[in-house]
C-alpha cells in the first residue's frame, strides 16, 4: 500500500467559481507526466480521498492539481476551501499508464480532453518529450462554457515556442465563443470538421491518439476513431488509441 505524506498548499489559482488549481509542496516519489496520485483530508477516523492527475511536468518544484468543485461532493468543497499554508495528505507513489512511454512511434499526436481532464496533457506538453517524439501535436479541449478554457497562458507559450507544429483546438458546447469550435469532439471527428480545422487526418500509419475525459466522451470518441480505421493501443497489440476515464 502506498504511503501517505503531508503536503502543504503553496499557491491557489481560481479559474472560475467552481474550477481551481492547487500547487502543493510534498516529498513524493518520482513520477511521469500523465500519471496521477491521490489527495486526501482526514475527517475524524475517515480519510476521504480522490485521484487527481499532475498538471505540472515532473521536474517542476511543486505538484499541481486541477479540480472542479462538486457542491455536494465529499472532498472537493473542502479542497476548495484550502488556502496557502494549509495542509493535506498526498499519496507518495503515482499511478497510471496514460504516459508517452506507453505509445508506439508515430508522426502525429492527438490529445483529446474534456474539462479538468486536460491536466495530464498539459503536463506532457510542458515536459517537452512529446515534441521530441512527434512531428505534429494537437491539443483538443472540450468544455461547456468559454470561461472554462483555462491554462491559456501556458497554451499560448506552447504555440509561440513550437509554431505550426502545435495546434490548439478549443470546443465550447453551450455557447458561442470566439475561436472555439461548436459542439462535441466525437461528432466533429465523425463529420470531419476537426480534421479540417487542424489540417491533419487520422491514419493508422502515423496517428497516435490519447483521450482523457468523462467515460461517455471516452467511449464515444474511441468508437468514432475506430470507425476511421484506428485501433486501441494494447501492450500485447500496439495500436493508435490510448484512453483514460477521468473519474
Phi-psi region of 156 (alpha: psi -120 to 50; beta: other; left: phi over 0): alpha
Integer Cα distance of 112 and 71 in angstroms: 27
pLDDT of residue 1: 63
For the chain, what percent of residues have pLDDT higher than 90?
96
H-run or E-run covering 5? strand 4-14
State residue 2's pLDDT score: 74
pLDDT confidence tier of residue 44, bands split at 50, 70 and 90: confident
Q: What is the pLDDT of residue 245?
A: 82
The closest of 170, 171, 164, 158 to 125, measured between CA atoms, is 158
- The C-alpha R_g of the chain, in whole angstroms, comes to 18
Distance CA 66, CA 117 (A): 8
DSSP letters, 137-204, are: EEEEEEESSGGG---HHHHHHHHHHHGGGEEEEEEESSS--TTPEES-HHHHHHTTHHHHHHT----T
pLDDT, tens digit (0-9, with 9 covering 90-100), for 1-23: 679 999 999 999 999 999 999 99
3 CB-contact burial (10 Å; exposed 0-12 / middle 13-18 / buried 19+): exposed
Residue 247 has pLDDT above 70, yes or no: no
Cα angle: 164, vertex 231, 109; to 5 degrees: 15
User: Three cell numbers at 204?
Assistant: 493508422
DSSP string, 92-116: SS-B-S-SGGGSPP-SEEEEEEEGG
* Average pLDDT value for the chain: 96
Q: What is the pLDDT of residues 124-165, one digit of tens each?
A: 999 999 999 999 999 999 999 999 999 999 999 999 999 999
Distance CA 183, CA 154 (A): 24
pLDDT in tens, 190-221: 999 999 999 999 999 999 999 999 999 999 99
Amino acid at each position: 500500500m502506498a504511503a501517505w505524506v503531508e503536503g502543504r498548499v503553496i499557491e491557489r489559482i481560481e479559474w472560475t467559481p467552481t474550477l481551481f488549481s492547487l500547487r502543493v509542496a510534498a516529498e513524493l516519489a518520482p513520477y511521469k507526466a500523465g500519471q496521477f496520485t491521490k489527495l486526501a483530508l482526514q475527517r475524524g477516523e475517515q480519510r476521504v480521498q480522490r485521484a487527481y492527475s499532475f498538471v505540472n511536468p515532473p521536474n517542476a518544484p511543486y505538484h499541481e492539481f486541477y479540480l472542479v468543485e462538486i457542491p455536494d461532493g465529499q472532498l472537493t468543497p473542502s479542497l476548495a476551501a484550502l488556502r496557502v499554508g494549509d495542509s493535506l495528505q498526498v499519496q507518495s507513489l503515482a499511478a497510471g499508464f496514460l504516459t508517452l512511454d506507453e505509445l508506439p512511434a508515430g508522426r502525429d499526436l492527438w490529445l483529446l480532453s474534456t474539462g479538468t481532464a486536460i491536466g495530464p496533457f498539459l503536463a506532457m506538453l510542458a515536459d517537452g518529450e512529446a515534441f521530441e517524439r512527434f512531428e505534429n501535436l494537437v491539443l483538443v479541449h472540450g468544455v461547456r462554457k468559454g470561461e472554462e478554457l483555462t491554462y491559456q497562458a501556458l497554451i499560448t507559450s506552447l504555440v509561440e515556442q513550437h509554431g505550426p507544429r502545435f495546434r490548439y483546438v478549443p470546443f465550447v458546447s453551450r455557447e458561442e465563443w470566439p475561436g472555439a469550435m461548436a459542439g462535441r469532439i466525437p461528432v466533429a471527428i465523425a463529420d470531419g470538421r476537426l480534421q479540417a480545422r487542424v489540417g491533419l487526418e487520422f491514419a493508422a500509419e502515423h496517428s497516435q491518439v490519447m483521450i482523457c475525459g468523462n467515460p461517455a466522451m471516452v467511449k464515444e470518441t474511441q468508437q468514432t476513431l475506430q470507425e476511421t480505421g484506428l485501433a486501441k493501443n494494447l501492450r500485447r497489440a500496439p495500436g493508435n488509441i490510448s484512453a483514460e476515464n477521468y473519474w
